[in-house]
Structure 1
Amino acid sequence: MFPERPPADQERFLAYLPHSGFHNQRMSLETALRLAAYLNRTLLLPPLYMCEKALNIPWGPAPSLLEKWKTRTREGVEYCKDYNMAGRPRPTPNELRNALENPHGDRDLGCVAYHSWTTVPWTYFFDLPKVLVDVVHFADANLTEPIRVFDRPNMTISWLAERLGITESIEKEIYWIEDFVRADYRILDDSEYDYRLYPEPPGRYQRTILLSDLLERQEKVIHFGSLFYPDRVEARSDAHIALASYIVNALDIWNQEILDATKLAEAQIRTWINETNRAASGFLGAHLRTADGGFVHVIDSSLQRIVEWIRKVAGQDKQHSDDPLLLTRSGPTKRQEENVPTFLDRCTGQPAGSPLVYLATDVHHPRSSPILSDFFNEFPCAMILSDFPKSVDELDQIYNTVDNVHMLPYMIALMDANMAAKGRDFYGTENSTFSVYIAGHLWPRYHPGQNISLTPWIEESDIVS
């Protein structure tokens, strides 16, 4: 991620344990960057961990997280790097997990597990060096030097102790703040407010920790468990609020392959708009999350909210268009002759006011899924990522140069987010950090000075997973 270097004399550090999915890790990173700046400590920067759902690292107390991170290693299984995954049957989740814990038991299954996860630097997706440096120019944050980071590619405590030159007992040099429940502690900003005189209840958290107490710690490392939840670290002073706002809005996608694939898809959409004579300019973006956590239990309500929102926006668009005519187009397309409908085959002949929608979703094979059959029947001009094979083909060529893991499954998610954010308006799934990232990070960047409309899901969201 960053050039390797030895620790500076008297340098003190801040560490935490990442867990869960991409955007949970991103939100934890944002909190860690803020806290490192508040405490004037160097952040021990973990890698971004991406995997099949069966190999996810869910939240847990620090000992259990550390045990799971120990198994995320390539040591001893280097022969799997060039393993041919073509034609391998998909293992069950239990088989994958067992193979990860015992990679030498079944060589083939162990190599399948090897290719089911990977890590990359945060700089692979985000221009993090620019974020760290530019914070100095963000005057309201009151910082006079960049936020410091120190690469931590290995999440074990033994690596940490060796790399930082901890020669005394680990207990003396590492101050642990462990969490024993998901919302264990919250760090209060008492930089300009005396919580000792005016204490506040912890709210949903079990306990509170004062920022001033952390500033007094002299250990080489302050090590947290989880730093997830957007309000885990309070920003109360004007300077801390400004810094939090800057960091939360700074991590935009800069991966060139994703940006190039997005441009290809946008060009295709512009062509489709002209060919189908859509009444409204641009398209709508939506995100439906269904596959894990509590989302699987609320699929119907999540989808219904999106449908009602599209209907409402389409109704507003219709007020500005009096063209009720059906469009016609002569001659079948090449893929229509092959009985594979293209976007034009589905959308041509629909009323000009039929809304153009890009749906980002984790539903497998969306067009053949019963979950979305009614959706596509009602909105035949809806688009999904598979409607853009040229963009997908671009991403399909990418492999992690370190471990040779195919990156397409992980690139697709961010490509989906980027496309949905390009919509002239956006609606997401309540409680989804993926939706919040689109609405809070990407969409405002692409639509400066505008506000997302009709989105009560943002206000209702508790952002738990």
Structure 2
Amino acid sequence: MSHEKINLCKSNKFLYKSILVIILIIITFSFTNDILFTTTSPSFTTVNITTTVTTTTIPLPSPSFDSEEKFLTYLPHNGFHNQRLALINGIILSYITNRTLIMPPILINYAPGTSTFYSLYNVLSTILEAKQYRKDHCYKDDENDEHNFCNNTLYSIYDDFTMLNWDQLFDFNEIRKHVKIVNRGYDFSLDNLKYNFNIGENDTYLFIEDKPYKFEFFDNDNSTRQINKVFKKKFFISNLKKIDEKLLHLSSLFSSKKIILENQDNIEFRQFIHNKLMVNDPRLLNISDKIIKKLGGKGNYIGLHIRVLDGFFRDVAEHNKDLLYNELMSYLLKSDLLRKSKIFFKYNLKECVANNIPIIYIATDSKDRRNRLRKFYKKIPCVFSLIDFSKDLDTLSYSSSDFDKDVNLKDFYVPIIDLLITAHGKVFFGTPKSTYSEMANEVNNLSNGKNAI
């Protein structure tokens, strides 16, 4: 065989091998892509969890995760201040178990009342799916669309639903020095959660509470303390630390009594969280500071929070109003601050400040304050509330979350401004069992040089 034929054969063999390698690379890449972008249903449970993917842009977490990194997350529900308590509990458990906290966003304008694992996932997924479908396909006044989500009676409550990341409202700088915290993003798909954080199919531990307040967590295995009466069982955090799976997924973490701490380091860290986790949105701080100055400055007035609406608080509204009125009157009498002259009732704010009349600031959810709280206005001079400073709120203007630019957050921010104002008085009197009052009391303690709790 000639040298030319030998070389030609070699060239052809090389060409065939090269083409074969290229084909294999293309097939492998395509297969890899299929794996990367295919989500699967959870294999660790037979209970169906809706896994909705919305067309809303989902902020993905930073990809800089250690291969050995372990995560902890939970599901949010109920109102803003209840969600805040759950967040604090999530930070505490992440600290004790040495896991990165995947922090769910704040639910705004609608939050599920349910607190069990599967029902929460299904409700949260339904909210996102219904909201997106209605936005894309339904007219708000048109019920002719065959899709059930276009039924305004059932689903219009989700139209104003929105979400906000906690670190857009609160300061986490100091806390993040002790616990790694990342945002979950605006999504409640279990599949997406695993994909975003590179969690393997069988590397998730679902810590399921199938009943509200099922477990109360203890950091001391030898604790002799009894569980609080709302909880069903005691659970030791040491058992959470033994879980090997990459993701530890809890249910609800709401309740200030959810975690019982007896270890001194853990107690001090909880104190640290409450001291540092404070509102740091400059817009809200600037507005509240201006109103506080008009009231005479921090520590120069008396703050109250009177909650009279919504379920339980509506039922006990009269009792709570009497309770707070008596506490306020007792303080004024003991401090020799009560002013009975009728002329003082005619004073405006500037006159009250100029004449050193004790100023009372009331934060409340009542829309008819002077009527619902008439005892305070009728018997005590110089009583003011946020409605007296409505012009100061105009600077808040339109504000939205990057989850939904069409939903104004002003109604969400105003009660927070109200809280910041009432909490910066010399003393604060709050509504019993209110988590709003609980936060206001913490802010008041810090404002007066004390620990938050």
TM-score normalised to structure 1 length: 0.74
Q: 1:348 to 1:285 in 2, by over 3 A?
A: same
State the alpha-carbon separation in 1 of the partners of residues 450 and 224 from structure 2: 38
Match status 1:178 vs 2:193: no
Choose from 238, 254, 262 the match for 1:228.
254
1:156 lines up with 2:159 in the alignment: no
CA distance in 2, matches of 1:269, 1:181: 46
2:87 is aligned to: 29
Letter in 2 for 1:247: I
Superposed CA deviations along residues 63-88 of structure 1, whole A, max 9, x for unmatched, are 1111111023254455599x9x9xx9
Change (3 A) 1:206 1:121: same
Q: Does 1:344 align with 2:339?
A: no
Larger Rg: 2
Residue identity in the other structure for 1:437: M
Q: Deviations over 1:428-447 (max 9, x none)?
A: 0000011011112x112211
Q: CA deviation at 1:155?
A: 2.1
Aligned equivalents of 1:226 and 1:425: distance in 2? 33
- In structure 1, stretches of 5+ residues that fail to align are 89-94, 134-145, 274-280, 330-342, 452-457, 459-465
Residues 263 and 248 (structure 1 numbering): CA distance in 2 closer, same or farther, change over 3 Å?
Answer: closer
Relative to structure 1, the CA distance from residue 245 to residue 102 in structure 2 (aligned partners, 3 Å threshold; closer, same or farther) is farther
Q: CA RMSD in A?
A: 3.5
Corresponding residue pairs, total: 387
Q: Aligned-pair distance for 1:2?
A: 8.8
Structure 2 distance, partners of 1:306, 1:80, is 49
User: Among residues 209, 225, 233, which one is paired with 1:207 in the alignment?
Assistant: 233
| Structure 1 position 407 matched with structure 2 position 440 | no
Matches within 5 A, 1:187-202: 187-190=217-220, 194-195=221-222, 201-202=226-227
Q: Which residue of 2 aligns with 1:61?
A: 116
Supply the distance in 2 between the matched residues of 1:59 and 1:122 (Cα, whole angstroms). Answer: 21
Alignment of 1:53-452 (within 5 A): 55-73=110-128, 75-78=132-135, 102-105=148-151, 113-133=157-177, 146-153=178-185, 154-168=187-201, 172-190=202-220, 194-195=221-222, 201-204=226-229, 205-270=231-296, 282-318=300-336, 326=343, 344=348, 355-367=358-370, 370-404=371-405, 405-440=407-442, 442-449=443-450
Cα pair distance change 1:215/1:296, threshold 3 Å: same
Deviation (angstroms), 1:48 = 0.7
State the AA in 2 paired with 1:29. L
SS for the counterpart of 2:173 is helix
Alpha-carbon distance, 1:285 to partner: 0.2
Give the partner amino acid of 2:247. Answer: V
The residue aligned with 2:27 is none
Instruction: Quote how far apart the aligned CAs of 1:319 are.
Output: 6.3
Contact 2:61/2:196 (<8 A) preserved: no
Cα offsets for 1:163-215 (capped at 9, x unmatched): 233343xxx3222222233221122213xxx53xx765434222122222211
8 Å CA contact 2:60, 2:196 repeated in 1:
no
Give 3-state SS (helix, strand or coil) of 1:72's partner.
helix
Native 8 Å contact 1:317 1:353 kept in 2: no
8 A Cα contact 1:359 1:384, kept in partner: yes
Partner AA of 2:227 in structure 1: P
For 1:311 and 1:67, locate their aligned partners in 2 and report how far apart those are by CA, in whole Å.
48
Identity among equivalent positions (%) equals 23
